[in-house]
Amino acid sequence: MADSQVAGRSITELKDPLRPRFSWFTDRWIAISFLTPTMALLVFITVFPLVWSLYLSFTDWSVIRDANTAPTWIGTQNYADLLMNRRTWERFVVTGQFVVPSVTIELVLGFGIAMLLNRKFNGRGVIMTMLLIPMMLSPIVVALFWRFMMQGEGVLNYYVVNLFGSDPVLWLTDRWVAPWSLVLVDVWMWTPFMMLISLAGLSAVPKYLYEAAAVDRASGWFRFRHITLPMVAPLLLIAVIFRTMDAYKLFDQALVLTGGGPGRFTQTASLYLYDLAFGQFRTGEASALGYIMLIVIIALANLFIRALNSIKATE
Amino acid sequence: MTAQRQTLIQKIGFWFTLGLVIFFFMFPLYWIFVSSIKTRAEVISRVPTYIPFVQFQPTLDNYSAILVGGARESETGVRTSADLSEFRNRLVNSVIIAGASTALAVSLGTLTAYAISRFRIPAESDLMFFILSTRMLPPVVVLIPIFLLFSNLQLRDSYFGIVMLYTTVNLPFVVWMMKGFFDEIPVEYEEAAMIDGYSRLEAIWKIVIPEAIPAMAATAVFSAIVAWNEFVFVNLLNRTNANTVPPYLNSIIGVGAVEWGRLAAGSVVFVIPIVIFTFLVRNYLLRGVTFGAVRR
């Protein structure tokens, strides 16, 4: 009796085929309990605040002035004001003038570097990983590095003055130069991203296509135009959309580098929103601007999903 | 013979171009490092110097000032714009906050990803899109309501609040990454275990999780970097307590004479973990930066 009990116990501990532990925890309950915490957090910290700010965007509430009073409903007044105001449009133009050159240069440069790296050579792994470091850094730190180099007597101006004999460049305070300084910093930080994705695309092009082209004595340009580019294009599209959505949100870098200045020449939509909300405390209006920004990003996100689906379909 | 000569020219051209590329991307990093081991006079000297011991005598003063020393009067008598001893506290905060939020995000997100990967969930693709969309929002858009929410709930200036926030920020990423990985782990593993008498939970714990550990580690590294680098939210929400390094670095630059040497040292200390992590997850970088959308 005692023996069988001991044996019985040890079998249960090993594995009793008839009575697995936690068997009362059915798949249904597992699914529910695995999904709930994540969903709860997302709803509480993302969806709920969004709904709240949607409501605020229809009011003239200010976090400072009306801290203890209820918001006053003013309908679509905020949206009308913003859309009628030339300043709002200027902020979006500034954003666009940053996004388009940045993403274009990053794409061309990143793809070019990927073509360069797409071969075997000593130290390839280390060099590649090294080149990827910029995109892993905090935008704040990146902006600090560059601000250090771009200041009046910084290292960049030393070479501008001594090699080209020109006056020091006001990298961050000249109205024509400052927007391009932002582009330069973004290019430094995010070209590695384009490079990484381009490399993935390039390495996936089947070798036999090139071999076939070589047999046909196809020119280098022909191979690039008719084999490489079409094969890599879908991935590049993903990369471009990723970067566009990200660049559109530009905030930290611009804040540290120029703070929107000189004047408002580098004030992007995000910086403008921040200033409305926490500089001028026009909470309602800032919320409305947030929703305008959101509509633009949703359009971009839709592009992203469509591109992704079309790529999945061709794979 | 001609072919060989051409390859030599090509080789030179290749290494020259690659050298330029490496120079462009590495110069700022090297410059900040070299500045961090310079004396105050050397940092602001007009002629740039690059080679320690040869062009200038390196010093670890900046590092000892931010890591060991308290608030110091600088040699010239100019008070520094921010209290230097604060850096240490911020570093500890950064570690606590990034660590806690990553642990939470990875554990919750992994479970969710498992459920979505293995069970039949109604409107699964809509659910995945919803989860992704919360991450695509411009941070400044959610900044206002989060600020009000945290103010009302007294979550500002607390570790708990910012940890929950970063957890939420990283959850979509973890779910997408881990779902991709779980989809690649054959269902047969668990099914075999369950036929052998394991319950589902046991099969997850003993079969699936060990299989997913490398993926979880890579995902954790990416999440930790996001939390480590975040600036906008923590800068606004945690003004007096539980604040991290990025707002500190930004605040030094804002006021008065900038102590670039100290700032450079702080940046180097802050950036070293990221460089190490980047090398650790190099094989997962592609997946990591595209939310698992690109897997090759």
**Contact (CB<8Å) A38/B112:** yes
Q: Which has more pLDDT, A223 or B28?
A: B28
pLDDT tens-digit readout, B155-214: 999 999 999 999 999 999 999 999 989 998 999 988 898 888 888 888 899 889 999 999
Q: Distance between CA A193 and CA A203 in Å, rounded? A: 16
| A86's tokens | 């030339």
Backbone angles phi, psi at A135, to 5 degrees: -75, -15
Identify the weakest region by mean pLDDT among A72-86, A122-136, A299-313: A299-313
**Contact (CB<8Å) A301/B144:** no
Contacts for B205 with CB less than 8 Å, ≥ 6 apart: none
Does A64 reach chain B within 8 Å, measured CB to CB?
Answer: no
User: Which stretches does DSSP call E strand in B121-179?
Assistant: none
Does B87 reach chain A within 8 Å, measured CB to CB?
Answer: no
- As a whole number, mean pLDDT of residues A74-93 equals 90
Which of A17, A22, A49 is the closest to B146 by Cβ?
A49
By the 8 A CB rule, do A177 and A169 touch?
Answer: yes
Does B47 reach chain A within 8 Å, measured CB to CB?
Answer: yes
Nearest-by-CA chain A residue for B224 = A136
- As a whole number, mean pLDDT of residues A300-314 equals 72
| A184's tokens | 């330069």
| B258's tokens | 């900038």
Q: Distance between CA B277 and CA B98 in Å, rounded? A: 13
Q: Distance between CA B34 and CA A158 in Å, rounded? A: 17
What average pLDDT does chain A have? 85
Q: Distance between CA B183 and CA B293 in Å, rounded? A: 13
Q: What is the ipTM of this complex?
A: 0.87
| B49's tokens | 């110097």
Chain A / chain B CB contacts < 8 angstroms: 255
Q: Distance between CA A285 and CA B233 in Å, rounded? A: 20
pLDDT tens-digit readout, A31-52: 999 999 999 999 999 899 889 8
| B273's tokens | 């973990």
Q: Distance between CA A118 and CA A200 in Å, rounded? A: 9
